[in-house]
Structure 1
Amino acid sequence: MRTSKFTDSQILAILKEYESGQTAKELSRKYGFLYQTLHDWKKKFGGISSTKELQKIKELESENNRLKKMFANLSLEHEALKDVLFKKVVKPATKREVVNYLVSEYAINIRQACKSLNLERSSYYYHSQRKEDTELIGCLNELSEKHPNYGFKKMFHSLRNQGFPWNHKKVYRVYKKLGLNILRKRRRRLASRERRNLEVPSNYNEVWSMGFMSDSLFNSRRFRTINIIDDYNREAIWIEIGLSIGAMHMTDLLEWIVKERGKPKAIRTDNGPEFTSSVFTNWCHKHRIEIRYIQPGKPTQNAFIERFNRSYRTEVLDARIFNTLIEVREITAEWMEHYNSDRPHESLQNISPMQYLLN
């Protein structure tokens, strides 16, 4: 850009001489410029009487230009950020990809893009020096095939004993990446049981059968029931309903029933954790009650309670929608009274359990 050979203060002095009465041609000959230039100076510096005013005007112009440039940059950054709002930009690697996108799609430089995404430029230019984990992956896969029961610690120390230099953090990172840290559910070992024929007791209150059931309320909350019947006349002794029924709860219930009704000689159950717990077995041993476990996977050996559970499910649990446990308990109590007193039972010659007991 071509610049004038006169400074601003010199131009203001020439304009003052022009205003004092000298002509443009005289001034042009005196100072050596084209007399038309004087008119351009008048347009530019007209009304300015001192260099201080001129300096203020120049400062205002520079500030105005700076603000315009800032506004343009912010508008551009705003438009660019609107384009990437749908992306989840959290990790540095993702931010680097977005920066590259903004630089290629918009007239924005790397510094602006990094600043708008709150990313340090050193992080943008960083390149990972991590080596590939191919060798470590192969070693871990080989160990897991040879020793499937090995956990992380055993695998790590095995690799160290073989002379590999990887530290525990790297080994654990790859170990988790391969999914080797998934917990394996161990199958519960059940004791072997002797088969016992299912016989109808000869007397009342001789053998009880017990079993658990589960269902859900209208709000999808699960609840459990424990059903107890007398094998002699299939009488429903009690149905306990609760969100959780553990061994302690069960033995407290049996203690109350024994006080009200008397104790049986034996109780037939499956191999559930509540029935095999020490709490239940100790309670039976204390009251000298025999526990008759069925064989695992043989529910027909406990057919009396299984048939009762089916009736309870079809006539109560599946027939209604319950909102609260209170509703379940009330309807169950009504059904138990009907079941024991009025409902015909095919195996009892189509009479109710209480009628069979009285006969």
Structure 2
Amino acid sequence: MTNSGDFIPDEQIEEFLMEAIEGDGATYGIKNLTQLLKDEHDLQINHKKVARLCKELGILLPQRQGNPKYPKRLVRNRIITAPNQLWQLDIKYGNIVGSRRFFFVACAIDVFDRSIVGYYRGPRCTAKDITGMLNEAIIRRQLQVIDDSNGRHCIVVRTDNGPQFISNLFGEFCEKNNVFHERIPPRSPNYNAYIESFFSILERDLFRRYEFTYFEEAYYEIDEFMEFYNHRRYHGALEECHP
């Protein structure tokens, strides 16, 4: 919970922790990570819960040895000239009014045409949920798994450092499908500006307009919004891509 009384799902706190250990909190123990969550994210949280989440994530100090099988690749500037060159991917959560229940929306946006190429919504959001969504998007867009002997990839996918994206399952999926996965530096949402902008629209045009009283209601409205956004909503920024 925040100091203003808003409930925050554990998944969001886990993302805060992953960002912390990727950045200034790389050498922090439980005590300092707890204080960081209080100071930087305005949370009311105790060290016992932080210790539990760190244990679940496998990021207690003696275990922080990275993942040599799937090394971290930092973002680099890219010139995007066509669809399916770069997708940005992130996760947003909403809540069921009057309860401590949350739902999650994971979306992948094509940087070139600004369309949502795939999305997932559900009461939890795991690496399995996200890789399933990405697999469907790759099939839907008829992308081929390219032989990478010449350094070519099926698609570049850019994410933050959330636990779903640094998991072995996500790494295995990217390797199997020859997806080049790059991660933005901590506290650098501008590197994922297109998906951040979309989530701002989703927050303004959907989450602030409706109070969801049960999950099925939220999922129905999300599905309707995605259909509207991809097929009927006017996208002024696309004028630059399609003169």
Q: Which TM-score band (shorter chain)?
A: 0.5 to 0.7
Q: Does the C-alpha gap of structure 1 residues 195 and 261 become closer, same or farther in structure 2, counting only changes over 3 Å?
A: closer
Structure 1 segments unaligned to the other structure (5+ residues): 1-148, 150-181
Compute the RMSD of aligned alpha carbons: 2.6
Q: Does the C-alpha gap of structure 1 residues 328 and 233 become closer, same or farther in structure 2, counting only changes over 3 Å?
A: same
Q: Is the 8 A contact 2:72 2:182 kept in 1?
A: no
Aligned to 1:344: 234
Matched, 1:260 2:131: no
After superposition, residues 138-149 of structure 1 pair within 5 angstroms as none
Matched, 1:246 2:136: no
Structure 2 segments unaligned to the other structure (5+ residues): 1-28, 30-46, 144-153
After superposition, residues 1-359 of structure 1 pair within 5 angstroms as 183=48, 185=50, 188=59, 194-197=74-77, 199=78, 201-220=80-99, 221-263=101-143, 264-349=154-239, 356=242
Shift of 1:348: 1.3
Give 3-state SS (helix, strand or coil) of 1:349's partner: helix
Distance in 2 (CA, whole Å) between partners of 1:277 and 1:209 is 17
Q: Is the 8 A contact 1:193 1:296 kept in 2?
A: no
Q: TM-score, normalised by structure 1?
A: 0.44
Distance in 2 (CA, whole Å) between partners of 1:327 and 1:183 is 35
Q: Is the 8 A contact 1:267 1:292 kept in 2?
A: yes
Q: Which amino acid aligns with 2:114?
A: R
Moved over 6 A (4+): 189-192
Give 3-state SS (helix, strand or coil) of 1:339's partner: helix
**Percent same amino acid among aligned pairs?**
27
Give 3-state SS (helix, strand or coil) of 1:251's partner: helix
Q: Is the 8 A contact 1:213 1:226 kept in 2?
A: yes
Shift of 1:226: 0.4
Distance in 1 (CA, whole Å) between partners of 2:198 and 2:79 is 15
Aligned to 1:157: none
The higher relative CO (CA closer than 8 Å, separation ≥ 6) is in 2
Shift of 1:193: 5.7
Q: Is the 8 A contact 1:206 1:265 kept in 2?
A: yes
Distance in 2 (CA, whole Å) between partners of 1:212 and 1:309 is 9
> Whose strand fraction is larger, Structure 1's or Structure 2's?
2
